[in-house]
Structures are given as C-alpha cells and as structure tokens.
Amino acid sequence: MSASGACNGRAAEIGSTAAPMAPAQPVRLAPLDIRVALAAHLAGLALTMAAIVGCTMLIVLMGQSLHWLTG
C-alpha cells in the first residue's frame, strides 16, 4: 500500500466527484414546530372534554327519563 492512504475507506472521496462537505442549502427545521404541536394537543384535549361532557349529559338525561318512567 502507498502512503497516500489508498487503504483508507475515505480514499475514494478525494477526487473531483467527491460529495461536498457542506450542504448547498442550509438545513431547514422540521415542519412541525411548537405552535402546530400545541394546537394539536389542545384540539385533543377539547375533543376529550367534549366526549366527557356528552357522556355525562347522556347519563343524566337517561337517569331523569328512567326516574320519570318509574316514578
């Protein structure tokens, strides 16, 4: 082997076809930022609260109608 590093795994990257070390464009952040995550979280909480309130109202109305039928 020669002293030029031919046995090195990165030796093939030295020529003119080697990939540039720095990207051509700056790296962008992920599209999911904190506002999107917060909005999704609040929407999930709102749906959960609506389900709880809806079930509670259904139980109360069924209880009242059963009380009216048996009273």
pLDDT digits 0-9 by tens, 13-31: 565 666 666 667 777 766 7
What's this model's pTM, rounded to 2 decimal places? 0.49
Q: What is the pLDDT of residue 61?
A: 92
Structure tokens at 41: 């979280």
Three-class DSSP category at 43 = helix
Q: What is the pLDDT of residue 38?
A: 93
Regions of the chain where pLDDT drops below 50: none
Q: What is the pLDDT of residue 45?
A: 98
Domain definitions of the chain by residue range: 46-71
CB-side neighbour CA atoms (13 Å) of 71: 6
